Structure 1
Amino acid sequence: MPNPRTGPPAQLFFSTPEQRAALARERFFEEGDQPTGLVNDAVLQSWSRCNAAGKRTGDRITAEPVSSLRLDAALRHSRLLRAAASPGLSRLETALAGTASQILLTNAQGMIICIGQRSPCAAESALPALARLGMDLSESTLGTTAPGIVSATGKGCSVLANEHFNEAILGVQCAAAPIHDVEGRLAGVLDLSVEGRGFGFDAYTLIASYARDIENRLLQLQSDDMLVLAFHADAGLLGTPLEALAGIDGQGTVRWTNGTGARLTGAERGLPALDVLGCPLHALVALARHPGPHALRLPNGLAVWCSARLQAPDGAAALTPAPFAPPAQVLPPAALPEQDSTAQPATPLTLEQAQAESIARALESAGGKVARAARALGVSRGVIYRHLQRNQGVPAPSSGTPT
Structure 2
Amino acid sequence: MDLQTSALGRARQMLETQGRFPGGALPGDITESWLRSLSHGLDPLARSQRLILSEVEFNATRQTHADLIRFARPELELLYDQIAGSNFMIALGSPDGVVLDTLHDTQFAETEAGAQVIPGSVWSENLRGTNAMGVCIATGRPAQVYGGEHFLRAHGDVSCISAPIFDGAGRLAGVLDASSMSAVRQQHTAALVQMAASSIENSLIRSGHDRRIVLQFHPRPEYLGTLSMGVLVLDEDLTLHAINRRGEMFLTGFPRLLGESFDRIFEQPFAAIQQRLVEGETLRVRDRIGSAVSLRCVANRASFALARRLIPVVTEPGTAPARNLFRDVVIDDPALWQRLQALPDAAKRGAAIAITGETGTGKALIARLAHAASERSGPLVTLDGRMLAEGDFARVCLGSGTEPGLLQQAAGGTLFLDEVTDLPVVAQAALAGVLDIGEYRHPETGAVVRTDLRVVCATSAPAALSDLLPALRYRLEGFRLDLPPLRLRSDLAALAQRFARSVRPDARMTEAALARLAAHDWPGNLHELRAIVLQAMLMRPEGALEAQDFDALLPGAPARPVSSGATCCAQCAGVPWKADQCQNIRTVVARHEGNVSRAARVLGMSRTTIYKHLKDQAS
Q: Give TM-score scaled by structure 1 length.
A: 0.70
Aligned-partner residue type, residue 302 of structure 1:
S
Q: What secondary structure sits across from 1:246 in the alignment? A: strand
1:192 aligned to 2:181? no
1:218 aligned to 2:204? yes
CA RMSD in angstroms comes to 3.0
Deviations 1:23-59 (A, max 9, x none): 2212333345442222122222222222222211222
Q: Once the two structures are aligned, what percentage of the paired residues are identical?
A: 26
Which residue is 2:13 aligned to? 26
Deviations 1:54-99 (A, max 9, x none): 2112222222531011111111111111122133222212211232
1:149 aligned to 2:140? no
Is the 2:146–2:185 contact (alpha carbons within 8 Å) kept by the matching residues of 1?
no
Which residue is 2:224 aligned to? 238
Q: Structure 1 residues 87 and 239 mapped into 2: Cα distance closer, same or farther (>3 Å)?
A: farther
CA distance in 2 between counterparts of 1:108 and 1:17 reads 31
Aligned-partner residue type, residue 37 of structure 1:
G
1:165 aligned to 2:151? yes
Q: How many residues align?
A: 316
Deviations 1:116-147 (A, max 9, x none): 34362373x32211221111111233211010
Select 1:126's aligned residue among 109, 112, 116: 112
CA distance in 1 between counterparts of 2:139 and 2:106 reads 27
Which residue is 1:84 aligned to? 71
Is the 2:140–2:164 contact (alpha carbons within 8 Å) kept by the matching residues of 1?
yes
CA distance in 2 between counterparts of 1:314 and 1:277 reads 19
Is the 1:144–1:165 contact (alpha carbons within 8 Å) kept by the matching residues of 2?
yes
Aligned-partner residue type, residue 204 of structure 2:
L
Is the 1:285–1:316 contact (alpha carbons within 8 Å) kept by the matching residues of 2?
no
1:209 is displaced (CA, Å) by: 2.0
CA distance in 2 between counterparts of 1:319 and 1:23 reads 68
Q: Give TM-score scaled by structure 2 length.
A: 0.47
Aligned-partner residue type, residue 111 of structure 1:
V
1:101 aligned to 2:88? yes
1:258 aligned to 2:247? no
Is the 2:96–2:124 contact (alpha carbons within 8 Å) kept by the matching residues of 1?
yes
Q: Structure 1 residues 203 and 220 mapped into 2: Cα distance closer, same or farther (>3 Å)?
A: same
Which residue is 2:52 aligned to? 65
Is the 1:254–1:276 contact (alpha carbons within 8 Å) kept by the matching residues of 2?
no
1:327 is displaced (CA, Å) by: 8.9
Q: Structure 1 residues 132 and 32 mapped into 2: Cα distance closer, same or farther (>3 Å)?
A: closer
Q: What secondary structure sits across from 2:231 in the alignment? A: strand
Select 1:54's aligned residue among 28, 41, 57: 41
1:293 is displaced (CA, Å) by: 2.8
Aligned-partner residue type, residue 164 of structure 2:
P
Is the 2:278–2:304 contact (alpha carbons within 8 Å) kept by the matching residues of 1?
no
Q: Structure 1 residues 131 and 32 mapped into 2: Cα distance closer, same or farther (>3 Å)?
A: closer
Is the 1:226–1:319 contact (alpha carbons within 8 Å) kept by the matching residues of 2?
no
Deviations 1:193-217 (A, max 9, x none): 1114435544333322221121111
Which residue is 1:300 aligned to? 289
1:19 is displaced (CA, Å) by: 2.4
Q: Structure 1 residues 114 and 284 mapped into 2: Cα distance closer, same or farther (>3 Å)?
A: farther
CA distance in 2 between counterparts of 1:57 and 1:287 reads 60
CA distance in 2 between counterparts of 1:205 and 1:49 reads 27
1:265 is displaced (CA, Å) by: 2.4
Is the 1:225–1:318 contact (alpha carbons within 8 Å) kept by the matching residues of 2?
no
Is the 2:16–2:45 contact (alpha carbons within 8 Å) kept by the matching residues of 1?
no
1:277 aligned to 2:266? yes
Is the 1:101–1:119 contact (alpha carbons within 8 Å) kept by the matching residues of 2?
no
Which residue is 1:309 aligned to? 298
Which residue is 1:229 aligned to? 215
Unaligned runs of 5+ in 2: 315-323, 325-493, 507-619
Larger RCO of the pair (alpha carbons < 8 Å, separation 6+): 1
Deviations 1:3-22 (A, max 9, x none): xxxxxxxxxxx734332211
Q: What secondary structure sits across from 2:206 in the alignment? A: helix
CA distance in 1 between counterparts of 2:73 and 2:120 reads 18
1:301 is displaced (CA, Å) by: 2.7
CA distance in 2 between counterparts of 1:95 and 1:158 reads 19
Q: Which moved more, 1:194-203 or 1:309-318?
A: 309-318
Q: Structure 1 residues 16 and 145 mapped into 2: Cα distance closer, same or farther (>3 Å)?
A: same
1:238 is displaced (CA, Å) by: 1.4
CA distance in 2 between counterparts of 1:151 and 1:93 reads 22
Is the 1:288–1:310 contact (alpha carbons within 8 Å) kept by the matching residues of 2?
no
CA distance in 2 between counterparts of 1:286 and 1:90 reads 39
CA distance in 1 between counterparts of 2:275 and 2:55 reads 48
Deviating 4+ runs (over 6 angstroms): 338-342
